[in-house]
Amino acid sequence: MTEPLRLTTREVATFVARGFLRFDAAVLAEINEQFLEEAGRIRDPRPGERVHRIHAEALAKARIPEVAPGAPLFEAYPPESALGRLMRLPRVAGGFRSLLGEAPVFDHHFLHVTFPPKFHAAASRENVSQNTHQDSTIDPGAGFDVQLMYFPHAVTREMGGTRFTPGTHLHKVSEAAIGRYQNMVGQQHMVCEAGTLLFLHHGIWHGGGVNHADQARYMFKIRAHASTRQTRCWNLEDLPRRNARRPIFFTKSAPEPDTIETILTTPEPWFEFDTGRLEFVNRIKLWRYMTEDPAYDADYWLTRLEATPEAQAAR
Amino acid sequence: MTALRQKVLVLYLKSSALDSPVTAWAQYDGTGQTLHMAGDEDEPPYPTGVAALKDGWRLFQASQLLPHARGEEFDLAYLKYEFLFEQLMEVDR
């Protein structure tokens, strides 16, 4: 097998700050074609037939295996299947290993199909998008699972695309409780080439977009968790040995782009005025976890909180 | 014969100030004339809550400012500054 392509420090910092990494057209065309063949075609609806029945039939016929949770991720698929080949791609193997350590464990997978308007018309149902949600059961821990979204064919805006809002992943919410958040400033829709990959922190807020095109839209999701240490597993060659303490607030020039501190303290457009600071605090805490450096700080956000008289006296 | 139906606009703002910028939003139309759904707009319908008031929306609920639970001061969860507006529309029955 080709050596896994480990993520860089800046890629992992971006994942920590924004909750996702996107790699466009990262999967070979022949794997995409093989996957679509194994997934099978969606047949036309019969009058009155509900979409979920057609979807269930497609899942049953698909040449994608059922896999029980707890399996070693890299042994979950037959080696010559499209998904087996996908998992051996250096970008995929390296991405999972960088974020989940050497022995990621399979949680679940799913073939998401978003149906064109005629399927909803046949069932006399409205063609609507999926409400915004987080794939959580309220998850208060520091660690995280990774969800890989694989887009095996090109996705146009008309086809909807998976919608997600960068930077929402550190919010501890309860799955569909956020369904009222229809739209957010800065939300993104996955319009992409075939073979595009999204590595997601499992906490990112997302939902399936409504499909107005003639063609069914496929997205395959694989969720995995760590079974070993998930920290310091990326390519550490570019990890700065010491974080730079730079001037804050009163500054005479724009911050140097692409430093860890800049990545961790770049706000998203939907951040609230006051809790925007808490976003930075939580990103820095996650970076401490990922780097195993409990003293790390960016722009004094945690030092200011920790340097209380009580804490000083306790030393 | 006409009847009244409610249209609801939910705005999430950057602070508790009604004139602060919109960060997220939702719309529900009880007249059935329009269908809103997740992901249907990338630009907010109004730049601020006050802009919605000026366009005739009536504010009927605002989220409370609650003290921070001890030990959870730095946790993030739901959007904090939620404002619900309505318009009452006449429809033919």
CA dihedral of residues A163, A167, A170, A171 (deg, nearest 10): -60
Q: Does residue B71 sit within a domain?
A: no
A173 is written with which tokens?
């919410």
Query: Is 80 exceeded by the pLDDT of residue A315?
Result: no
Q: What are the start-end ranges of the H helices in chain A?
A: 9-18, 29-39, 51-61, 82-88, 90-100, 117-122, 260-264, 275-291, 301-306, 309-314
Task: Quote the ipTM score.
Answer: 0.97
Instruction: State both tokens at B9.
Output: 């606009």
- Nearest CA distance, A239 vs chain B (angstrom): 27
- Kindly report the CA angle at A13 between A9 and A17, in degrees rounded to 5? 170
B26–A182 C-beta distance less than 8 A: yes
Kindly state whether A155 is in contact with chain B, defined as any CB-CB distance less than 8 angstroms: no
Report the run of H or E that residue B52 belongs to, with start and end.
Answer: helix B49-54
DSSP secondary structure code for residue A72 in this structure: B
* Gap from A219 CA to chain B (nearest CA, Å): 17
Contact A86, A149 (CB under 8 A): no
pLDDT value of position B25? 98
pLDDT tens for residues A230-289? 999 999 999 998 777 899 999 999 988 889 999 999 999 999 999 999 999 999 999 999
Contacts of B40 in chain A (CB under 8 A): 129, 182-183, 210
* Residue contact A181–B39, C-beta within 8 A: no
Residues 291-310 of A with CB under 8 A from B: 305
Residue B36 is assigned to a structural domain of this protein: yes
| A268 DSSP assignment | P
Instruction: State whether B76 and A279 contact (CB < 8 Å).
Output: yes
The secondary structure of residue A207, as a DSSP letter, is: E
What CA–CA distance (Å, rounded) separates B48 from A35?
46
| pTM recorded for the entire structure | 0.96
How is residue A306 written in tokens?
Answer: 């920790």
Using an 8 Å CB-CB cutoff, list chain B residues near A182: 24-27, 36-41
Going by C-alpha positions, the residue among A221, A191, A177, A169 that lies closest to residue A20 is A169
The interface residues of chain B toward chain A in range 31-70, judged by CB-CB distance below 8 A, are 35-42, 44
Distance of alpha carbon A105 from alpha carbon A101, whole angstroms? 10
In the predicted structure, residue A312 carries a pLDDT above the cut 80? no
Would you say residue B23 lies in a domain? yes
What is the H or E stretch that residue A107 is in? strand A105-114
**Is residue B88 in a domain?**
yes
Q: Residue A1's pLDDT band (boundaries 50, 70, 90)?
A: low
CA nearest to A176, candidates B38, B90, B70: B38
CA proximity to A152, closest of A56, A30, A279, A305: A30
Torsion on CA atoms B86, B90, B91, B93, rounded to nearest 10: 120
Chain A positions touching B37 (Cβ under 8 A) are: 128-129, 182, 210
Cβ-based contacts of B22 with chain A (< 8 Å): 185
Residue A142 has pLDDT above 90, yes or no: no
- For A200-216, write each residue's pLDDT tens digit: 999 999 999 999 999 99
Query: Measuring CA to CA, which residue among B10, B22, B54 is closest to residue A273?
Result: B22
Are the Cβ atoms of A185 and B24 closer than 8 angstroms?
yes
Cβ atoms within 10 A of the Cβ of A133, count?
Answer: 19
CATH class entry, domain A9-225? mainly beta
- pLDDT band of residue A193 (cuts 50, 70, 90) is very high
Of B20, B17, B34, whose CA–CA distance to B9 is shortest? B34
Place of tokens 């998203």: A268
Count of structural domains within chain B:
1
Cα distances (angstroms) measured from residue A26 to each of A29, A197, A216, A303: 9, 7, 22, 40
Cα-based torsion angle of the residue sequence B67, A296, A306, A309 in order, rounded to the nearest 10 degrees: -170
Q: How far apart are CA B57 and CA A38, in angstroms?
A: 52
- CA distances (Å), origin A113, targets A86, A190, A193, A219: 19, 14, 17, 7
Q: Quick check: A184 contacting B, CB < 8 Å?
A: yes
Q: Tens of pLDDT along A11-66? A: 999 999 999 999 999 999 999 999 999 999 999 999 999 999 999 999 999 999 99
A182·B14 Cβ contact <8 A: no
| Sign of the alpha-carbon torsion through B60, B89, B50, A274 | positive
Would you call A182 and B40 a contact, using CB atoms and an 8 Å cutoff?
A: yes
Percent of chain A predicted with pLDDT > 90: 92
Residue contact A181–B26, C-beta within 8 A? yes
Of A179, A187, A273, nearest to B42 by CB-CB distance is A187
In 3-state terms, what secondary structure has residue A228?
coil
Quickly count: other Cβ atoms within 10 Å of residue A276's Cβ: 16
Segment (H or E) for B28: strand B22-29
Residue type for position B29: D
Delimiting residues of CATH 2.60.120.620 domain(s) in chain A: 9-225
Q: Select from A256, A258, A314, A263 the least CA-distant residue to A290.
A: A263
Pairwise pLDDT comparison (A310 vs A270), residue with the higher score? A270
Range of the domain at B30: 2-64+76-92
User: How large is the average pLDDT for residues B58-85?
Assistant: 97
What is the average per-residue pLDDT within A156-185? Answer: 97
Q: Examine residue B69 and state whether it is found in any structural domain, yes or no.
A: no
Mean pLDDT of chain A: 96
The answer to the question of residue B25 being in a domain is yes
